[in-house]
Amino acid sequence: MNTKLFIAIAGIVLLSACTVTNEKSSLVDRNIQTASLQFEGVLDVIGDTNLNPGSTRNDELDLVPSRSWISGFFPGSLWYMFEHSGDEKWKDAAVHFTMNVEKEKFNGGTHDMGFKMFCSFGNAYRLTGVKNYSDILIQSASTLITRFNPTVGCIRSWDHNTDKWDYPVIIDNMMNLELLFWATRETGDSSYYNIALAHAETTLKNHFREDNSSFHVIAYDTLTGDVVKKNTHQGYAHES
């Protein structure tokens, strides 16, 4: 290839790459600015409360108690704002709304520990190194594994709808395992890791169809560990 032609082509490629990079950077900046305005607006509206923002409904802001599975998302988002900007105002707000969720570390009636505790306290500990956050996360992991049934090989998801399922496990439960893997790295106690691995392997074995799509709910027999039902609870149909 002609040297001048090669240099010209290389220059065009580099210019195009820089343009794409700049466009992406600009898009990220605009989204961060929008998020900042939204979070500031939410904080102005709710003030000092022991409830956390969940979502909006009919243009009204829903506040949820700590037991809600989405209670950790708002403080987690505030921690990300602090991480991005370094602005202490985000950290102060993140600490407040994170601590709103603390009592959930003892809530053994839910599998949603990863959603609630790792989004909030997980980011808090990652960004600050404060030992109290680590202690809360370890307790949360210890509470979560009380829902593990070794015969089934999974952590129980729901305690409701007992007329439908004796031991339901939903695919969403996989997102709570990160907390357990972290707990083993933090403490050196392999029991968290072993339970998380067993849950993942059992899920891999039973939750997926031949086309690699997944069922929502697998119901197990607690005496044998056998699969009893393959259902959906929040979708169009069992096979959808």
Tens of pLDDT, residues 68-105: 999 999 999 999 999 999 999 999 999 999 999 999 99
Query: What pLDDT is recorded for position 151?
Result: 97
Q: How many CB atoms within 10 Å of residue 71?
A: 27
Is it the case that residue 26 has pLDDT exceeding 90? no
- Whole-model pTM? 0.85
Is it the case that residue 25 has pLDDT exceeding 90? no
CA angle 39, 44, 49 (to 5 degrees): 95
Q: Residue 218's beta-bridge partner residues?
A: 169, 230
- Displacement of CA 38 from its chain's centroid (Å): 21
Average pLDDT over residues 42-56: 89
Q: Residue 61's beta-bridge partner residues?
A: 56
Catalytic sites, residue numbers: 112, 172
Please report how the helices 3-46 and 73-85 are oriented relative to each other, as an axis angle in degrees rounded to 10: 130
